[in-house]
A = this chain, B = another copy of it.
Amino acid sequence: MGLSRSVRAPSTDVLTARYRGLEPLNMHEISFLRMIESKPKAIFSSDSRILAEGSEISTPLLIVSGWACRVRSLSDGRRQIMNLLLPGDAIGLCQRSRPLAVTTIIALSTVRASEAFELADVWRDRARMPALAEALDIAAAEEEHFALCHMMRLGRQTAFERMANLFMEIDYRLASRGMSLGGRFPFPLTQETLADVVGLSVVHVNRTLQQMRRDNQIDFSRGRMAILDSEALRLAGEFQRPNVTAGRADP
């Protein structure tokens, strides 16, 4: 818990860290984000449903702490997790009116989230806060990039490659919010859930984790992940940083 706390950015700054990392924001925009983050939070307990597929999206949310995911199921219970939602990520943020949710969203740990109507407005009337609107565009484009990575994992990569790539992605995304330090970050998923992310069975996820541990590539236990050999994982998984805006290839 001591460690966990030292790794986590002070929770009143996740949103700022998130969007400032995408596009330079002015003071006005930053304090706007701080205002949103300091509002009272909706709390969802682990495993509870945040949004149901097919239901109308009434309230856009911004996750301030905790992990969630977008998930769909087949009639016989097979599940596929489409995307992990981390602190700083949005839920149901959309420029359109009266949208329906295309996936169910469930909390994977206790999730605290702020209502973000104002942010949806800012995205729609781009002129009000152009840089912030741009940051939201970039966030959406990054999300698309990672969705494509997910398809590549599921369709063409081996178990080892999928998991290597996924861990690098999570590290990258958390680091951009100041929540991963030196490859160490909280990891609140069970192996069962992880299996539903990478499209494998629990047993095989376990075997693959064992292998990564044996080779000193990760140090993993329920609740915590440490990436020990990021070079090996990056190579194996062919991880690529998102690169979505002209004149801004990051290092």
Residues of A participating in the B interface, judged by any CB pair closer than 8 Å: 54, 56, 70, 72, 74-75, 78-80, 82, 95-100, 102-103, 124, 126, 134, 137-138, 141, 144-145, 147-148, 150-152, 154-157, 198-199, 238, 242-247
Contacts and interface: CB of A to CB of B under 8 A. Distances in A.
Given A102-B148, A151-B80, A154-B151, A74 B246 contact: no
Contacts of A156: 74, 78-80, 199
Nearest to A137: B96
Secondary structure dominating the interface of A = mixed
A84 to B, nearest CB: 13
A203 to B, nearest CB: 16
Given A74-B152, A80-B151, A151-B154, 18 more contacts: A72-B148, A72-B152, A74-B156, A82-B148, A95-B95, A96-B137, A96-B138, A98-B245, A98-B246, A99-B141, A99-B244, A100-B244, A100-B245, A124-B126, A147-B147, A151-B151, A155-B198, A156-B199
B100 A155 contact: no
A131 B29 CA distance: 31
19 contacts: A54-B243, A56-B246, A70-B148, A72-B148, A72-B152, A74-B152, A80-B151, A82-B151, A96-B138, A96-B141, A99-B246, A100-B246, A102-B145, A124-B126, A147-B151, A151-B154, A154-B155, A154-B199, A155-B198
A194 to B, nearest CB: 13
Contacts of A138: 96
A205 to B, nearest CB: 13
Contacts of A97: 134
Given A154-B151, A156-B79, A141 B238 contact: no
A135 to B, nearest CB: 11
- Count chain B CB atoms within 10 A of each CB in A75, A95, A134 and give the residue with the most: A95
Contact of A144 (B95, B102, B154, B245): B102
Given A72-B148, A199-B156, A137 B102 contact: no
